[in-house]
Amino acid sequence: MPETIYDALRESHETQRSLCRRLLRSRPGTRERLDLFTALRIELAAHAAAEERFLYVPILMDDRGLNSSRHALHEHHQIDELVEDLQSLDPRHAAWLEKARELSKKVHHHLREEEKKFFQVSGRILTAAKKTQLARQYRRDHARMRRELEAQ
């Protein structure tokens, strides 16, 4: 059975969940904390860009997916703002950890909601062939975005 967009997205979702858990367990002032935050920041940005292009936009174009797409885009924006907030804080301080917890909670909520609701809505809109095509496009764009963000 060919890979669908949902298979590709779930792989990134698991990476995000793992990075969030590991980040919250990391010790203040360590290189590990900085490396985990950088990895999470890059994964979130690459995933969001590719997902918005190759899942949200096609669903946004269908009236049945309009509200779900708008909501998902709004949550991506909230996650982006939390990442920006974290970048302005000192990772050795308690305020940073509190903001990281808030980010982790938002990421977990978004992923759960997407997998339980958005995938079902979009699954009724997309054809099987389109789901396979979008998987390839998503993977290609996700990898390109990761490379660009890692090079910055």
**Spatial distance between the Cα atoms of 70 and 92, rounded to a whole number of angstroms:** 36
Q: Is the pLDDT of residue 1 over 90?
A: no
Short-list 41, 48, 68, 42, CA closest to 125: 68
Short-list 124, 127, 120, 136, CA closest to 5: 136
Residue 97 binned pLDDT confidence (cut-offs 50, 70, 90): very high
- CATH number of the domain at 127, please: 1.20.120.520
- Secondary structure (DSSP) of the chain: ----HHHHHHHHHHHHHHHHHHHHHSPTT-HHHHHHHHHHHHHHHHHHHHHIIIIIHHHHTSGGGHHHHHHHHHHHHHHHHHHHHHHTS-TTSHHHHHHHHHHHHHHHHHHHHIIIIIHHHHHHHS-HHHHHHHHHHHHHHHHHHHHHHHH-
Range of the domain at 64: 5-151
Backbone angles phi, psi at 62, to 5 degrees: -110, 130
Q: Is the pLDDT of residue 85 over 90?
A: yes
Length of the chain: 152
Can you tell me which residue has the tokens 């979702």?
A: 13
Contacts of residue 7, defined as CB under 8 A and 6 or more positions apart, other chains included, come to 135
pLDDT at 111: 98
Q: How many domains does the chain have?
A: 1
Model pTM score = 0.96
Task: Give the pLDDT confidence of 34-74 residue by residue, as tens digits.
Answer: 999 999 999 999 999 999 999 999 999 999 999 999 999 99
